[in-house]
Amino acid sequence: MKSNQTLSFLPLVKHFLLFLIIFPIIISTEAQNNIPRPEHPRPQFMRDTWINLNGQWNFAFDFGKSGIERGWFSDPSEFDMKINVPFCPESSLSGIEYKDFMPAVWYHRTLEIPPTWQDGKIFIHFGAVDFDCRVWVNGEQAGRHYGGNVSFEFDITELLQEGINDLVVLAEDDVRNLEQPAGKQSQTYYNSGCCKYTRTTGIWQTVWLEARPEKHLKRVRIIPDLDNGLFILTPEISGFSNDMELTTTITNPQGSLVKSATTNVTDGVPFEIKLDNPQPWSPENPYLYTIQFSLKSDGIEDVVSSFAGLRKIHIEGNKVYLNNKPIFQRLVLDQGYYPDGILTAPTDEALKKDIELSMAAGFNGARLHEKVFEERFHYWADQLGYLTWGELPDWGTSFNIPQAFLNIQNEWREEILRDMNHPSIIAWTPTNETAGRARRNPEVHARWLSSLYDQTKNLDPTRPVNDASGYTHIKTDLFTIHDYDQNLQTFYDRYKELDPEHPEKAFIGYPGQAPELSIPYKGQPYIVDEYGGTFWLPEYAGESEKGNGRSEWGYGKTGEQVEDLVDELTQVLLNNPNIAGFTYTQLTDVMQEVNGVYTFDRKEKFNTEKLKEIFGAPAAIEK
């Protein structure tokens, strides 16, 4: 009897042991799913060996910027608050929601490295930290990065110890020093007013750990060559040796093998992979190839997942061509702000939804305005066939401060290198509305814009460059104009004589916006890349312009007139055979600026089907 009882318990013991094995995995998976923004932040260059560090961190203000003197990098015991990373402390999602100036903020959490990561290298990644970021691991500095809008990483392998590790982050930020690209962040105590909005301080994008072999891929530049049906690949390798082989495996969207090739690679030397039956990427058919890179050396393999689209963007005369066909760019101004996350989308789904809302209103893309959008946004744009212009948030910098130009140049370079493989990005715009700065110092302004244009072309000669969106150009592939005129007749008259054969007749800017400091129009693609901006909120219908003295900001008409006015203004641009595109201002209201197609919380303000007919109507330049 005793023996039988023992046997009867064996299945229970087996189930219990299985539970002990599986339960930690379930807990780990649930913990990963419960943290904010749990998805991989870099789907175009992704390894399986990664850990998301978002969630609750210890946090402290450092108003006197004395934390380093007090040794906080090695003793974070005074961090008496909690913050929800990756949301900035100004946001409600952070759990802090402090909106006054914060010259320095500190973060702390612990790390435990998986046993399987003991070999090779371990990197910590930051999606973005505004502005001057220093990182310590176990009291030793891992690195320092300047730039509030771009991604960076540090190798922390040698600083780690067995068991628990302390990670401390310091972010110093001063949007009033005129040295750092601040974009639309307010530089006044009143943290949101006119067309400036609530600031973003500290960590505001995902933080994650990644394990790599000692010898690994740093990046792979992917240049699509549509005419020849191939990709040109340039690997950058850490720890390069002559025995390295790179296997590139390309599959189609259905998962079927397209091409697999193994080559002996050299760091920084490009090679080609020709595709069988090449399929182009386009807004109508956003065809993406999945790519897996496998770098082998000394029996060690580094495997990275990526994707790419085969598409071509070029200029002939005054037209922009996509895949060798003229395209009219029906763009919307997207500033990428959210009521609860400010510059950080609350979820990955929110990023995708913004694109879907834009497309539902008839736009085929967006001018991403005064913000470096996160890589997940570009991923969804690639997936959905949504055209974008990449832009640096250059506002907040003075052309008279050399350090400002260094900061601009460094961040712009990092943005281009990070995002240049995305097929949805079809133009670069390093600056926006520089007229005021041009007037203060025309010579320095001209040197800035010329240098940024050259830098952009050196990094990426495959895309057109708009040196300065609106008003004042120095060296540019696209000639862009901002025009918020709400009078249909004067709006029409301004462009009726536009003709690349007679460029002297082109409107190049308002008298107050320094057109005399701009180069003349030379027959480039002419794009009105800001117009509309028409004020309206349902609760203010029938009231006078700009909210009847309220703090809300916008241009022009009241609710009853908006749809008809937008239609008429848009038809002027669509029907002009010498205009190559527009950017309507804007996708959503942003705080006090209530001139969006949708409200700040992404609700409809207009008849979306009617808007789709307006913005999506045929354009003369495409015929």
Indicate the SS3 state at residue 161: coil
pLDDT band for position 41 (cuts 50, 70, 90): very high
The dihedral through the CA atoms of 535, 327, 310, 235 has a sign that is negative
Asked if residue 496 belongs to a domain, the reply is yes
Question: What is the average pLDDT value for the chain, to the nearest integer?
Answer: 91
Is the same domain home to 143 and 64? yes
pLDDT value of residue 34 = 85
**Residues 131 and 174 sit within 8 Å (Cβ to Cβ):** yes
Place of tokens 């495997």: 303
pLDDT band for position 30 (cuts 50, 70, 90): very low
pLDDT value of residue 12 = 42
What is the DSSP pairing of strand 271-274 with strand 230-238?
antiparallel
pLDDT value of residue 514 = 86
Joined tokens for residue 358: 């834009």
Final residue belonging to a domain, choices 190, 212, 234: 212
pLDDT value of residue 177 = 95
Is the same domain home to 384 and 287? no
pLDDT value of residue 299 = 87
What is the number of structural domains in the chain? 4
pLDDT higher than threshold 60 for residue 255 = yes
pLDDT higher than threshold 80 for residue 203 = yes
Is the same domain home to 99 and 182? yes
What is the DSSP pairing of strand 387-391 with strand 425-429?
parallel
pLDDT band for position 20 (cuts 50, 70, 90): very low
Place of tokens 């974008």: 388
Asked if residue 323 belongs to a domain, the reply is no
pLDDT higher than threshold 90 for residue 510 = no
Asked if residue 44 belongs to a domain, the reply is yes
Asked if residue 321 belongs to a domain, the reply is no
Is the same domain home to 119 and 263? no
Distances (CA, A) of 17 to 6, 28, 30: 16, 18, 20
**8-state DSSP, 540:** G
Is the same domain home to 54 and 123? yes
pLDDT value of residue 193 = 78
pLDDT value of residue 552 = 60
pLDDT value of residue 330 = 98
Who's near 258: CB < 8 A, 6+ residues apart?
Answer: 250, 251, 252, 275, 276, 289
Is the same domain home to 208 and 225? no
Asked if residue 278 belongs to a domain, the reply is yes
Classify residue 232 by burial, with Cβ atoms within 10 Å: 0-12, 13-18, 19+.
middle
pLDDT value of residue 551 = 54
CB atoms under 10 Å from CB of 149, counted, come to 27
pLDDT higher than threshold 90 for residue 191 = no
pLDDT band for position 559 (cuts 50, 70, 90): low
CB atoms under 10 Å from CB of 551, counted, come to 14
pLDDT tens for 565-578 read 999 999 999 999 99
pLDDT band for position 513 (cuts 50, 70, 90): confident
**Residues 427 and 465 sit within 8 Å (Cβ to Cβ):** yes
**8-state DSSP, 621:** G
pLDDT higher than threshold 90 for residue 142 = yes
Q: What is the CATH number of the domain that holds 59?
A: 2.60.120.260
pLDDT band for position 546 (cuts 50, 70, 90): very low
Alpha-carbon distance of 521 to 248, in angstroms, equals: 45
pLDDT value of residue 397 = 95
Enumerate the H helices of 420-530 as residue ranges. 435-440, 442-459, 488-495
Is the same domain home to 405 and 537? yes
Least reliable range by pLDDT among 112-126, 182-196, 277-291:
182-196
Is the same domain home to 61 and 162? yes
pLDDT higher than threshold 70 for residue 200 = yes
Asked if residue 24 belongs to a domain, the reply is yes
Q: State mean pLDDT over 585-612.
A: 94
pLDDT tens for 283-340 read 999 999 999 999 999 889 999 999 999 999 999 999 999 999 999 999 999 999 999 9
Is the same domain home to 247 and 174? no
Q: State mean pLDDT over 439-450.
A: 94
pLDDT band for position 266 (cuts 50, 70, 90): very high
DSSP string covering 384-427, please? HT-EEEEE---TT--TT-HHHHHHHHHHHHHHHHHHTT-TTEEE
Nearest Cα to Cα of residue 585 among 595, 593, 577, 594:
595
Alpha-carbon distance of 369 to 489, in angstroms, equals: 28
Joined tokens for residue 108: 């702390």
Final residue belonging to a domain, choices 308, 336, 368: 308
Is the same domain home to 64 and 157? yes
pLDDT value of residue 393 = 97
Alpha-carbon distance of 248 to 304, in angstroms, equals: 10
pLDDT higher than threshold 90 for residue 228 = yes
Q: State mean pLDDT over 359-383.
A: 98
Is the same domain home to 419 and 487? yes
pLDDT band for position 357 (cuts 50, 70, 90): very high
Is the same domain home to 44 and 143? yes
Alpha-carbon distance of 305 to 595, in angstroms, equals: 40
Whole domain around residue 581: which residue ranges? 328-622
Asked if residue 318 belongs to a domain, the reply is no
Joined tokens for residue 260: 């697999």
Alpha-carbon distance of 411 to 395, in angstroms, equals: 13
3-class DSSP string for 244-278:
CEEEEEEECCCCCEEEEEEEECCCCCCEEEECCCC
